[in-house]
Amino acid sequence: MDDQPLQPDYDSFESHLWPALAHRIPAFEQAKLERAWAGYFEMNTFDHNAILGPAPSFENLLFMNGFSGHGIQQAPVIGRAMAELILLGRFDTLDLSDLLFTRITENRPLREAIVIG
């Protein structure tokens, strides 16, 4: 990972992303890029989704990671779900059992068609 550049790809932005934005939202044609940043983010390479629940080999170790860039969107429901799992031993409000760690050990990736990667 250390050999990956941490500089914004301005050329890619100008040639690919900018035209798509301006086509979809005409006001972007008038906007001006002033600065940008690049960085790494946590990524679950197995299926690009959250990994939740107990670790199969360690008592009292719970996973709540692997969101691959969309964790901030899911944080409120994940917090509630994990609280339910801890307090009730199950998901109650929303069944997130498809995101449990066991899908990795059973080689059952949960694929999303709209996630790139």
> What's the pLDDT at 28?
85
- pTM (global) more than 0.85: no
Eight-class DSSP state of 16: I
Query: pLDDT by residue (tens digit) across 41-57?
Result: 777 889 888 999 999 88
Residue 34 has pLDDT above 80, yes or no: yes
CA angle 64, 69, 70 (to 5 degrees): 70
Write down the pLDDT at residue 112: 74
Instruction: Please give the backbone phi and psi of residue 100, each rounded to the nearest 5 degrees, phi first.
Output: -65, 150
Gap between the Cα atoms of 108 and 7, Å rounded:
35
Residue 50 · residue 65 · CB < 8 Å? yes
Residue 115 has pLDDT above 60, yes or no: no
